[in-house]
Amino acid sequence: MEYAYDDQNIFAKILRGEIPNKTVYENDYALAFEDIAPQAPVHVLVIPKGAYVSLDHFARDASAEEHHGFMQAVAEVCRIMDVEAGFRSIANTRVHGVQDVPHYHMHIIGGRQLGRMLQ
Ligand code: AMP
């Protein structure tokens, strides 16, 4: 599959510092920030700093260091946001997954009972 990355997407602009974000955690490979329209008391987006359009793109082409750095950011977000009671991670992907922003991002959602995954 061909993955075409559009560097004008909003998360690319956040990574370049062109628009602000509420940073929760950052390392060399990933940035985590609060979702602008939270769906629950905890709603953080974790994004890689590399140019990946989707989870499957990242899974296929990212280096071991990028994978490790991304997951380390996920762990830090879970610690910082104190989601010991549980949370949901979501990676909406392309058309069927209703992905709005074409830069891979993992939603970390929690802070309340979320109900079943799909209606
Ligand atoms: P999706 O691509 O459908 O998985 O979701 C994109 C998410 O990005 C939505 O939850 C939006 O609320 C969020 N979002 C869009 N723009 C911003 C922004 N400037 N800062 C933080 N979150 C954003």
pLDDT of residue 117: 85
Please name the amino acid found at residue 58: F
pLDDT of residue 29: 98
Query: In DSSP terms, which residues pair with 89 in a beta bridge?
Result: 108
For strands 23-26 and 106-110, give the pairing: unpaired
- Its pTM stands at 0.98
Residue 76 CA to residue 78 CA, distance in Å, equals 5
59-72 pLDDT, tens digit per residue, is: 999 999 999 999 99
For the CA of 100, the closest atom of ligand 1 is 2
Nearest CA owner, ligand 1 atom 17: 36
Quick one: tokens of 60?
A: 């296929």
Topology of the domain covering 10-110: HIT family, subunit A (3.30.428)
Q: Please give the distance, rounded to the nearest whole angstrom, from the Cα atom of residue 2 to the centre of ligand 1.
A: 24
Does residue 105 have an active-site annotation?
yes
Domain ranges across the chain: 10-110
